[in-house]
Amino acid sequence: MSGQDADIAQILARRHDNGADYWATPDGRISKGSPFTTLDCALMLKDLGMDPTDPVLKGTADLVFRTLRDDGRFAIAPHGAIYPCHTINAVRALCHLGYAEDPRLRGTFDHLARIEEADGGWRCRKFSYGRGPETDCSNPGPTLAALDALRFVPLCHQPEALDAAVDFLLDHWVVRAPIGPCHFGIGSLFLQVAYPFSSYNLFFYVYVLSFHERARRDPRFLEALSLLESTLDDGRVVVQRPHQKLRSLAFCRRGEVSDLATGHYLEIRRNLEEGPRLDGPAPPAGRRP
């Protein structure tokens, strides 16, 4: 069994750990138990090469769609507030699974367009760190995740449609300080190469922005790219900060080269040299067909 197959088997073995199928809880929560949540596992399995038409990923997508409300938001838990990051994370997973042009998501994309803030980002009004001038800004983490989802949508190929969000994230490269109600900052942890893409960090930041022409020609992006490339081992990505609970998975071991992560780096280079594919991103090197 290959390392990728073994990783897939480990993730699948945990699909009932939260009490229900597809990594959900009995009451329907799809984002509890990080990193073995419905949304996170869907993204990891897709990254590991599982076909989105596989019954497991098909069932996972169906479960996520069952949390979609009429107003376009996703209620990832049966009770409580619905924050923009909930909807963004759900639609991001579905876009990666091939549902970006599914008619059911039209209302979600309209909703995200309506709630985009004046600074270009998306903001969850949950003030866990109190209120200060910095909390008037959008949250960089959800904004980056939103751009990762929207790159699959045709509007991504109209550069001006997402320029404000790109500019917001490029500005944060200069500001560095924690901003937004959830205090996303650019510090020592951000600058460590984290994989898989589940948190606001240098690798995910450069990867997503590389799909946007406005970023690719900006000196702030090029500086971030240079920092990422300074961590490479002979052109290969070394994972510096995986999630602790993923330490048994071969594709993201701390201190080791990751073929899948390197494939994403090669996507970045292709985006810079050729521009992103209009029919969606090319599969990174190292993935199974």
pLDDT tens-digit map of 64-86? 999 999 999 999 999 999 999 99
Amino acid in the structure at residue 140: P
pLDDT tens-digit map of 155-195? 554 556 799 999 999 999 999 999 999 989 999 999 999 99
What pLDDT sits at residue 29? 97
Tell me the pTM.
0.92
What pLDDT sits at residue 1? 63
Q: Rounded to an integer, what distance in angstroms lies between the CA atom of residue 20 and that of residue 26?
A: 5
How big is the chain by its Cα radius of gyration, in Å? 18
Where along the chain do its domains lie?
A: 1-115, 131-289
124 — pLDDT class (breaks 50, 70, 90): confident
